[in-house]
Amino acid sequence: MNLFDFSHSVGWLWWIPLFPLMATVWLGFFNPSGKFAAAVANAALLASLLLSIRAFAMTWGPEAGVLTANFTWIQVAGVNLEFGVVLNPLTGAMLAMVTFVGLLIFLYSTSYMSRDPGMTRFFCYLSLFMVGMLGLVMSNSLLLLFMFWEIVGLASYLLIGFWFRKPSAAAAAKKAFITTRIGDLGFLLGLLWAFKATSTFLLFDGGQGLLEIEQITALSATKDVLFGLNGAGVIALFLFIGAVGKSGQLPLHVWLPDAMEGPTPVSALIHAATMVAAGVFLVARAFPLFLADATVLGIVSWVGALTALFAALVALGQYDIKRILAYSTVSQLGLMMVGLGAGGLALSEGGVSIGTFHLLTHAFFKALLFLGAGAIIHGCGHEQDIRLMGGVFNRMKVASICYLAGALALCAFPFTSGYYSKDQILLSAWTAHGAVFWISASASLLTAFYMTRQCCYVFLGDYRGKGPIRQSPSLMTAPLVILAIFSLAMGIVSEEFYHILTYLSGIAVDQHAWIVVVVSWVIALGGIALGLLIYGGSQLGLDATDPMKGSLRTPYAWLENQFFIDELYDATVARLWKASAVLIVFLESGIHFLVETVRGLVTGMGGFLSKTIDQKLIDQISFDGVCDRIYKSGRLNAIIQNGFLQGYLRSVTLGAVILGVLYLVFAR
Amino acid sequence: MGLTLHHFLILSAILFSIGLVGALTRRHIIIMLICLEIMLNAANLNLIAFWHFSSNPLLMHGPLFTLFAIAIAATEAALGLALVLAIFRHYKTIDLESIRDLKE
């Protein structure tokens, strides 16, 4: 493996995470001023972006396919742990997306965080996150992927708790870390299981890798390993548990809405565009394992569909602009899972492109929505409650138009990027499973509806907040404009001109069903129309009740409280925890009783021993007698111990000299 | 006539003696520490000299030992100076003649 060989191997891919790593180390150890730190982080990411574009271009070129560069990390007891990087269309597209969106968000943060005293720390963490994310998408080893996965988790923890003096932020960071840890345990089990079954961590290894046909065939030949799944299915299921934690799927979604405590650029980069997509990416990366067992694909699509519907419902009842977007992220991640699961059932190998395409388009429009929300929050004097906004459109034209472009893409308005990717998901779901299709379709309808609700609250009517609206500086609006262009045009360009689905999966993907097209048009337009009908002309604000709440009081309360999932976990898992603590205290008091009994016995015996044997025999006769004699001889010795340090030293030297002389005399 | 092993051994013996005499006679505690260092470095010089004139200088034993000894001497000096500081704070003097609490 050679880092400087840019033509024959792909070892140079290591430079992509190395640049942000150097930035992290620099900022972390030398703690320069905030402005300088931003410049360093931006420059490092720009270098990564250029290399990523080269990698991306290579995957289109004639030598495209699966390119790897592996090396042995450690050898222990005959076991080789091998690491490596892989470049295939999936990696290339992810690298380009992560660095491009990342750079735009870095630029945005340079302006957004310019007044924050912790700006250096912020960019240090952001660069660390970039190291993890870029390493994650190019890892060719399950173990290496897991390591980067954890770095990403750590960076997410640090950034959610960036304003750690705020108790809610510290609590949210802890919650995110612990909840994703539950998923990571699944990932770890899958990883160990895979290593036990195949004795390799490499994903692609010239025919011997975990994801290549030989191992997959061998794994799927072992039937009924656990829960009736075959060998590959079990590994896939465990990896999926990891993905559920990272991508905020039911039932581990609780951390993602709380993660909005972090600064808004962090929400855009990590908790919308890239990191939470790592779970989806893991499923896409390990897709051959999932394909080997249809049951797991079914689980993936069902979990995804239920998550999508659940989160879309909750988003209806939220008032915090970022929290709505967070639930929308959870919902869209669910749809990506549907794309992968149902896509695998419907199209076999082609399914990987369905979920990944939505991941890519979603990254652009959701980053745009979060950055736009950041600009609006910034403009309204750090107010996040949509009931205290309103009339923003007339005061912040550029940011609002960009935001609306992102919202249209999220609603899958025809011919925006979201339309193309979501269409493919619905098509696969239609072929794979009717129920999954209808659940995903209703989630999409709700998506259009709640986005319209939010836009009505924010943009229409009169300004309801306090204080003047501030305009965003151009460094903040420029990324918004670029992202808006991508959100609108990326779908049509990549789908019609570049056939991205075929590119991503390597085989031709072509699916049509007129009913799905009709349904998706009805969903997008109907959802927006319904939203405008209900919220367009209503009186909105803190004192006015939400129009939906007026007619649906009880169900809406459930939505407002996010279906009481947090409370449910409090009442079940947390209470179980406390009950087991009480049980343990009870057990311990039993043990304590035993210990006390033994102690009593020992004390009684000890009393006998101490009085007769110890005090008389040992103390008075043996010990004290001996001590007395030693004491007397000690007094004699003490005469030369006069406390003068160099006196001692001189005696030591004299002794050494005498010994030396004796040696010279007698040793010959 | 070039340098032979004996030159180095004699030099190191001289250094050692200087250090020893200093450590035994000087009453200033820091001078005493410095003398200790001189003795240590005389030993280091021996190690390097033996290594240099050994039959197989490609084995890096001599420099390795010496590097170890220097590293340990550095920590020892730090510890020694810290003790000196503590002694000075306690007795308000660093004259060894007047510090006689080591008895009993």
* In the predicted structure, residue B29 carries a pLDDT above the cut 70: yes
pLDDT at position B75: 93
Least confident of A133-147, A159-173, A535-549: A535-549
B20, B24, B100 ranked by CB distance to A642: nearest: B100
Are the Cβ atoms of B103 and A649 closer than 8 angstroms?
A: no
Are the Cβ atoms of B96 and A646 closer than 8 angstroms?
A: yes
Average pLDDT of chain A to the nearest whole number: 84
Report pLDDT digits (tens) over A506-523: 777 777 778 888 888 888
Least confident of A229-243, A541-555, B68-82: A541-555
Mutate to test the interface with B, among A648, A649, A651, A652 (most CBs of B within 10 A): A649
B24, B101, B103 ranked by CB distance to A646: nearest: B24
- The helix-helix angle for A277-285 and A142-160 (nearest 10°) equals 170
pLDDT at position B34: 92
Closest by CA to A90, choosing from A111, A65, A72, is A65
Q: In chain B, which residue's Cα lies nearest the Cα of A651?
A: B24
Residue A506 burial (CB count, 10 A): 17
Which residues of chain B make contact with A650, given a CB cutoff of 8 A? 24
Report pLDDT digits (tens) over A220-276: 877 777 777 788 888 899 999 999 988 888 888 888 888 888 888 888 888 888 888
Q: How far apart are CA A246 and CA A258, in angstroms?
A: 14
- Give A585's Cβ-side CA count (13 Å radius): 5
SS3 helix, strand, coil % of chain B, rounded to 5?
75, 0, 20
* In the predicted structure, residue A1 carries a pLDDT above the cut 60: no
Which residues of chain B make contact with A634, given a CB cutoff of 8 A? none
Which residues of chain B make contact with A646, given a CB cutoff of 8 A? 23-25, 27, 32, 96
Q: How far apart are CA A360 and CA B61, in angstroms?
A: 59
- Closest-CA distance, A635 to chain B, in angstroms, reads 9
B24, B99, B100 ranked by CB distance to A650: nearest: B24
pLDDT band for B7, please (50, 70, 90 cuts): very high
Report pLDDT digits (tens) over A16-33: 899 999 999 998 888 888
pLDDT at position A8: 67
Least confident of A136-145, A166-175, A383-392, A410-419: A383-392
Q: How far apart are CA A136 and CA A145, in angstroms?
A: 5
B87 touches chain A (CB under 8 A): no
A640 touches chain B (CB under 8 A): no
ipTM: 0.78
Q: In chain A, which residue's Cα lies nearest the Cα of B101?
A: A643
Domain segments of chain B: what residues?
5-101
Which residues of chain A make contact with B96, given a CB cutoff of 8 A? 644-646
Report pLDDT digits (tens) over A368-399: 999 888 888 888 877 788 777 777 777 788 88
pLDDT at position B56: 83
Q: Which residues pair with A67 in a beta bridge?
A: A87
- Closest-CA distance, B23 to chain A, in angstroms, reads 8
B20, B96, B104 ranked by CB distance to A638: nearest: B104
Are the Cβ atoms of A649 and B24 closer than 8 angstroms?
A: yes
pLDDT band for A129, please (50, 70, 90 cuts): very high
Q: How far apart are CA A649 and CA A352, in angstroms?
A: 80
Which residues of chain B make contact with A643, given a CB cutoff of 8 A? 99-104
pLDDT at position A64: 65
* In the predicted structure, residue B11 carries a pLDDT above the cut 90: yes
The answer to whether the beta carbons of residues A357 and A500 sit under 8 Å apart is: yes
Are the Cβ atoms of B99 and A645 closer than 8 angstroms?
A: yes
A638, A642, A653 ranked by CB distance to B24: nearest: A653
Report pLDDT digits (tens) over A456-515: 888 887 777 777 777 778 888 888 888 888 888 887 787 777 777 777 777 777 777 788
Q: In chain A, which residue's Cα lies nearest the Cα of B17?
A: A653
The two tokens of residue B46 are 């021996």
Alpha carbon distances (Å) from A438 to A429, A442, A507: 9, 6, 27
* In the predicted structure, residue A542 carries a pLDDT above the cut 70: no
Alpha carbon distances (Å) from A307 to A253, A333, A667: 8, 8, 89
Report pLDDT digits (tens) over A330-370: 999 999 999 999 888 888 788 888 888 899 899 989 999 99
- Closest-CA distance, B100 to chain A, in angstroms, reads 4
- Closest-CA distance, B35 to chain A, in angstroms, reads 13
Which residues of chain B make contact with A645, given a CB cutoff of 8 A? 96, 99, 102
Q: φ and ψ at A349, to 5 degrees? A: -55, -30
pLDDT at position A265: 87
The answer to whether the beta carbons of residues A242 and A183 sit under 8 Å apart is: yes
- Closest-CA distance, B98 to chain A, in angstroms, reads 8
3-state per-residue secondary structure call for A109-149: HHHHCCCCCCHHHHHHHHHHHHHHHHHHHHECEHHHHHHHH
DSSP letter for each residue of A567-587: HHHIIIIIHHHHHHHHHHHHH
The answer to whether the beta carbons of residues A459 and A541 sit under 8 Å apart is: no
- Closest-CA distance, A643 to chain B, in angstroms, reads 4
Residue A58's identity, in one-letter code, is: M
pLDDT at position A507: 76
Report pLDDT digits (tens) over B87-99: 889 888 888 777 7
The answer to whether the beta carbons of residues A524 and A417 sit under 8 Å apart is: no
Q: In chain B, which residue's Cα lies nearest the Cα of A652?
A: B24
The answer to whether the beta carbons of residues A444 and A423 sit under 8 Å apart is: no
Mutate to test the interface with A, among B33, B84, B87, B96 (most CBs of A within 10 A): B96
Q: Which of residues 239-258 of A touch B (CB under 8 A)?
A: none
| Dihedral sign for Cα atoms in the order A584, A589, A595, A599 | positive
Q: How far apart are CA A186 and CA A226, in angstroms?
A: 14
* In the predicted structure, residue A292 carries a pLDDT above the cut 90: no
A637 touches chain B (CB under 8 A): no
The answer to whether the beta carbons of residues A527 and A448 sit under 8 Å apart is: yes
Are the Cβ atoms of B96 and A644 closer than 8 angstroms?
A: yes
Rg for chain B, CA atoms, rounded: 17
Q: In chain B, which residue's Cα lies nearest the Cα of A647?
A: B24
pLDDT band for A281, please (50, 70, 90 cuts): very high
Which residues of chain B make contact with A642, given a CB cutoff of 8 A? 100, 103
Kindly indicate whether the domain formed by B5-101 is annotated with CATH number 3.40.50.1110.
no
- Closest-CA distance, A651 to chain B, in angstroms, reads 10
Q: In chain A, which residue's Cα lies nearest the Cα of B23?
A: A646
A645, A650, A653 ranked by CB distance to B102: nearest: A645
Are the Cβ atoms of A643 and B101 closer than 8 angstroms?
A: yes
pTM tops 0.80, yes or no = no
Report pLDDT digits (tens) over A638-657: 777 777 788 888 888 999 99
The two tokens of residue A3 are 């880092």
- The helix-helix angle for A89-112 and A474-492 (nearest 10°) equals 160
A642, A646, A650 ranked by CB distance to B103: nearest: A642
Q: Which residues pair with A79 in a beta bridge?
A: A76
B20 touches chain A (CB under 8 A): yes
* In the predicted structure, residue A148 carries a pLDDT above the cut 60: yes
* In the predicted structure, residue B35 carries a pLDDT above the cut 80: yes
Are the Cβ atoms of B103 and A643 closer than 8 angstroms?
A: yes
Report pLDDT digits (tens) over A22-68: 999 998 888 888 888 889 899 999 999 999 998 888 888 766 678 88
A644 touches chain B (CB under 8 A): yes
pLDDT band for B19, please (50, 70, 90 cuts): very high
pLDDT at position A63: 62
The answer to whether the beta carbons of residues A255 and A180 sit under 8 Å apart is: yes
Q: CA angle A506-A509-A513, nearest 5°?
A: 170
* In the predicted structure, residue A435 carries a pLDDT above the cut 70: yes
pLDDT band for B45, please (50, 70, 90 cuts): very high
Alpha carbon distances (Å) from A667 to A654, A660, A662, B16: 19, 10, 8, 24
